[in-house]
Chains A and B, each alone.
Chain A
Amino acid sequence: MSSDPLKLVLYVAGQTPKSLAAIKNLRQICETHLNGKYAVEVIDLREHPHLAREHNIVAIPTLVRQLPVPIRKIIGDLSDSEKVLVHLRMGDSE
């Protein structure tokens, strides 16, 4: 995996159960596996629905790996931490 820090954007919809689960799961993954090399932005689309267009978000919650490119999307509540880590690490040498 590249040593460049990850830039992650998590899109949620207010306090829905899956949104809360995604925030909790992401925090846990970051603290356990990413050694502080990350920056997370949480966007509440219920408050700012127009921000969905930037990453063409359809389903919520969705985590977007903005950096390194290429952009990757992980849809769902991030409960499968192994799968999330695989997605965060894949393709960053493309």
Chain B
Amino acid sequence: MTSDVNTDLRRRLEEAEETLRAIREGEIDALVIRRAQSDEVFTLEGGDSYRSFMEAMTLGAAALDASLKLLYANKALCEILDCSSEQLHSGGLFAALDAQSGRILAALAEAAVAGQCTAEIHVVGEGRDRHLLASAAPLRLGLTSGVAITFTDLTERVRATAAEAAEKASRAVIASANEAMVVCDGAGTITHANPAAEEIRDQALVGRGFEEAFPLMFADGIAFRSAADLLALAAEGQSVRGVEAALKDAPKVKDVLISAAPLVMGGESSKGVVVTLIDLSERKAAERQQQLLMGELDHRVRNTLALVLSISTLTGYNAKTVEDFQRAFVGRIEALAATHTLLAGKAWSGLSIEDVVIAELAPYVSRDAGRLDISGLKVTVAPQAAVALGLVFHELVTNAVKYGALSVQEGRIRIEGRPSAGGRTLEIVWTESGGPPVLPPTRLGFGRTVITKSLAYSDGGADIRFEPSGVVCSIRVPNVELGTADPTP
């Protein structure tokens, strides 16, 4: 729109300048004077004919004699300078301007004696600044010479050019912004939308109603209920900052942080609203994940405390002395801690059964010592089952150290994992050999309770046999607790 105005103004300016040139060069000898009722053709004859012509012009025009004294100023110029013809004649043309513009115009008139020249000046008239292009040229006035000056009002053109530049700049700013930005007019229709905004809705937005394009839902306790309320508030001049809202039926972005501000242009009152939307989907997802993790942590802490309480009670029940209790209790809590450390190191996921076994056996026997033979355990296991397995292997290894294969130099342990016959569990077989002859224990201690009961759910469980050649324990881990094979060697 502004470029059309510019083109029109430019064309009119060229036409006016061409008219003036034709007058100065004596190429015309008649003019059309526009009257309210009808137009009249006026033939230029006689010495004062230039006056009639100047009056017919819509441009401001003045004729000066050779000493640059004002001979005549037309009505259009009086209007531009906001003074009467009499005031101009008594004070002079240059004095009607401010000091700086007066000097520029005087210098221009002086230079025009030698040839046509132009300069831009500013005048204050009709309560606003005007940009004028003053064009001066030598003028033949009968037998004498003088200077003709015309004043073209460039105010609209300058303003249109500035508005065009500002429009371009603001479009560039909106388009370059990382945040989604839309501009709405007073009726709530989207007039500008940057690529980030169109990405939110995955479609073109300009021309659509904001409320229809962004069906916002606000949380309880927010002052407005819909997008229309938000726009109305901003249009009244009130800025709305950082309000969380959800988008109904959104293809991609579900949650946004929305701000709205009145659009003020050129000091005028609000013409529309600028809305920015920040995608909160990731933050919301992270918050939900955090909530979930906090709930899970709370649950695990409670479980762990219950487990510690149970270990304490049962260890106390079986211990003969305080030292016995202390040793057994500390060992079991350390076993629990070892599994927890492993789990924490892998953010409670992706822990393999082999990791658990090696961590529990590490205080007693190194895998490199040639006394351990581990196979088929590179399978990931759920955290709860990992804790249970940690306790089971702790009991098995401490028994082996006290009474079994690890109580002598020659003893060995084989731990082998394989799918069970029915395929619903992983069977881990702990087989001791090379140790002293084994006799079945006379009573059921806490260790055996832990071993046999820890995984006794949904096809899981454990059996322990006290073969003379060594303890053989078969542990069944339900498939539901297992993940994929651990890819790490």
Contact = CB atoms under 8 A, between A and B. Distances in A.
A17 B45 CA distance: 11
Contacts of B39: 45, 49-50, 52-53
Contacts of B27: 18, 75-77, 79
Given A50-B38, A75-B28, A58 B57 contact: yes
Nearest to B35: A49
Interface in A69-84: 73-77, 79
B31 A17 contact: no
A58 B41 CA distance: 9
Interface in A1-38: 13-14, 16-19
Contacts of A58: 19, 31-32, 56-57
Contact of A75 (B18, B43, B57): B18
B28 A77 contact: yes
A58 B40 CA distance: 10
Contact of B30 (A13, A53, A73): A13
Contact of A60 (B18, B30, B38, B57): B30
Interface in B46-72: 56-57
User: Interface residues of A toward B: which range?
Assistant: 20 to 34
Contact of B41 (A13, A17, A74): A13
Interface residues of B, number: 20
B41 A45 contact: yes
A57 B21 CA distance: 15
A53 to B, nearest CB: 7
Contacts of B40: 49
Contacts of B57: 58
Given A18-B29, A59-B19, A76-B27, 8 more contacts: A18-B28, A46-B30, A49-B40, A52-B41, A57-B32, A59-B30, A59-B31, A59-B32
20 contacts: A13-B30, A13-B41, A13-B43, A16-B30, A18-B28, A19-B29, A45-B30, A45-B41, A49-B32, A50-B39, A57-B32, A59-B31, A60-B29, A60-B30, A60-B32, A61-B28, A61-B30, A73-B15, A75-B18, A79-B27
Interface of A: 13-14, 16-19, 45-46, 49-50, 52-53, 57-62, 73-77, 79
- Nearest 7 Cβ contacts at the A-B interface: A76-B27, A13-B30, A60-B30, A18-B29, A76-B22, A75-B22, A52-B32
